[in-house]
């Protein structure tokens, strides 16, 4: 078992990535070009998930990843097979895209051709999308002219994007018998501490979106754990978000199983769920705590906490969805609540840009990736199973951090509060922006 003294130091090679986006308003086209510093030997290496060492003498090449323009009718040029296809077909992990904006087809069709199998969204994503482009203005103008209030107009804008995205993933949903091809939309972050209101909001969203492959996102706050159970019991598929600790993750899985049992349905095959376990934010917080201690042995643990906890979460997932209780539900068609790795973008530029993807590859799981992480993995990621290669070392890191005074429950609680707060601020900021835009449209008219 690993100890503080014998844990390998992180040796991160420098790298860079960039994405340039251009838009022609008249033609509504979008292009994306990403360039990365690749390594010729990455295709041959076997990634050690927790030691994170790369050869110092790597030969670097510059490779370009080009997503060709597609027109509004979705007639994009076909693209070649990528590591995302291998991730799903060889390792059983579904790569999803953590972003959504207009024009939806132009954004998603190139990525679907590259192997993306689903989409996640959140209030922060929509805040950025709606505030930074004029693609929503015409619909918003019509909504304002109809007398709709600002918050209702917001939901109309969001629901249109979600429905448009769901259509693009329907084939994947059908091909996998409801196992994949989902698009996630979150209930209002203002309801994060309201049990019954969250249930009603989830029912409403599910009804108005009216797509078979929509996931209703519900935060894993203590108040919303019962909400998750009740929404599942109503036959609604759920993406449980903002999970930061092992005890809360176990509560989420229990809520899913309880909900399936409470549904009373004889066929459970169309009720599915994912549990979004956040990764990089854990390192961001714990690294700061380690830096305050500052000794060489302790600093060697930086960048390892998040992956270690995630590996233990996967072990917990395997244990929970087995045994007589679960098998009784399987006989009714129940599907496992797959663990979804969220917050996979690297926050610390000193870390490898695919750190939170390469190290957490395993079957029956999902990895949702923001732009830079997705493009980096396509460029130089390795689709090899890593999630359970070094379980004993993950356990050692987890315990070593506890001995240093890291309280994992407190870390999870702090990150949950911060995550809910970020989404609330994004939601409120967008409503203010829409209010201002509504006033400007009145002035213009």
In the residue annotation, 51 being an active-site residue is answered as no
Rg (CA), the chain: 22
Q: What is the largest CA-CA distance in the chain?
A: 70
Q: What gap in Å lies between CA 54 and CA 50, rounded to an integer?
A: 12
Q: Are 415 and 282 in contact (CB under 8 A)?
A: yes
Please count the CA atoms within 13 angstroms of the CA of 264 that sit on its side-chain side.
2
- Report the first-to-last Cα separation within the chain, whole angstroms: 70
**C-beta of residue 347 within 8 angstroms of C-beta of residue 338:** no
Would you tell me the crossing angle of helices 391-403 and 408-444 to the nearest 10 degrees?
A: 90
Question: Pairing between strand 273-278 and 238-243?
Answer: parallel
- Selecting among 114, 217, 289, 304, the annotated active-site residue is 217
* Measured distance CA(164)–CA(340) in Å, rounded: 23
Distances (CA, A) of 213 to 93, 129, 189, 233: 18, 22, 22, 17
Give the C-alpha separation, 115 to 6, whole Å.
39
How many C-beta atoms surround the C-beta of residue 378 within 10 A? 25
- Strands ordered across the beta sheet of 29-39: 17-24, 29-39, 60-67
- In angstroms, the CA 413 to CA 220 distance is 11
DSSP code, position 224: G
At 310, which helix (H) or strand (E)?
helix 305-320
The C-alpha atoms of residue 73 and residue 112 are separated, in whole angstroms, by 15
The C-alpha atoms of residue 70 and residue 29 are separated, in whole angstroms, by 6
Question: Among candidates 397, 276, 261, which has minimal Cα distance to 331?
Answer: 261
By annotation, the residues acting in catalysis are: 217
């Amino acid at each position: 078992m690993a100890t503080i003294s014998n844990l390998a130091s992180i040796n991160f090679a420098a790298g860079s990535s960039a994405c340039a986006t251009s838009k022609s308003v008249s033609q509504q086209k979008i292009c994306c070009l990403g360039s990365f510093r690749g390594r010729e030997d990455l295709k041959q290496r076997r990634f050690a998930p927790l030691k994170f060492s790369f050869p110092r003498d790597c030969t670097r090449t510059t490779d370009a990843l080009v997503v060709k323009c597609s027109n509004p009718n979705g007639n994009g040029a076909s693209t070649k097979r990528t590591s995302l296809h291998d991730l799903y077909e060889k390792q059983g992990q579904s790569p999803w895209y953590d972003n959504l904006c207009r024009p939806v087809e132009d954004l998603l069709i190139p990525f679907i051709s590259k192997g993306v199998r689903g989409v996640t969204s959140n209030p922060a994503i929509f805040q950025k999308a709606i505030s930074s482009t004029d693609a929503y203005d015409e619909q918003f103008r019509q909504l304002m002219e109809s007398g709709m209030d600002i918050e209702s107009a917001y939901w109309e804008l969001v629901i249109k994007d979600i429905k448009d995205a769901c259509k693009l993933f329907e084939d994947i949903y059908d091909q996998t018998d409801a196992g994949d091809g989902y698009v996630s939309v979150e209930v209002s972050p203002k309801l994060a501490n309201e049990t019954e209101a969250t249930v009603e909001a989830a029912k409403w969203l599910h009804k108005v979106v009216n797509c078979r492959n929509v996931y209703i996102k519900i935060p894993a706050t203590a108040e919303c754990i019962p909400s998750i159970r009740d929404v599942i019991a109503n036959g609604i598929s759920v993406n449980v978000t903002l999970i930061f600790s092992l005890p809360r993750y176990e509560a989420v899985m229990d809520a899913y199983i309880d909900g399936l049992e409470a549904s009373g349905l004889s066929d459970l095959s169309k009720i599915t769920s994912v549990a979004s376990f956040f990764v990089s934010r854990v390192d961001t917080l714990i690294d700061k705590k380690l830096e305050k201690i500052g000794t060489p042995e302790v600093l060697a643990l930086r960048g390892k906490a998040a992956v270690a906890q995630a590996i233990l979460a996967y072990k917990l997932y395997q244990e929970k969805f087995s045994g007589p209780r679960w098998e009784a539900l399987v006989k009714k068609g129940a599907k496992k609540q797959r663990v979804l790795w969220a917050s996979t973008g690297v926050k610390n530029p000193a870390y490898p840009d695919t750190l939170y993807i390469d190290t957490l590859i395993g079957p029956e799981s999902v990895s949702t990736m923001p732009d830079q992480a997705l493009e980096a993995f396509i460029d130089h990621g390795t689709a090899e199973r890593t999630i359970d290669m070094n379980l004993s070392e993950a356990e050692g890191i987890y315990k070593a951090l506890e001995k240093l005074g890291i309280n994992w429950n407190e870390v999870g609680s702090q990150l949950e509060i911060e995550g809910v707060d970020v989404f609330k601020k994004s939601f409120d900021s967008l409503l203010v922006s829409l209010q201002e835009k509504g006033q400007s449209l009145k002035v213009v008219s």
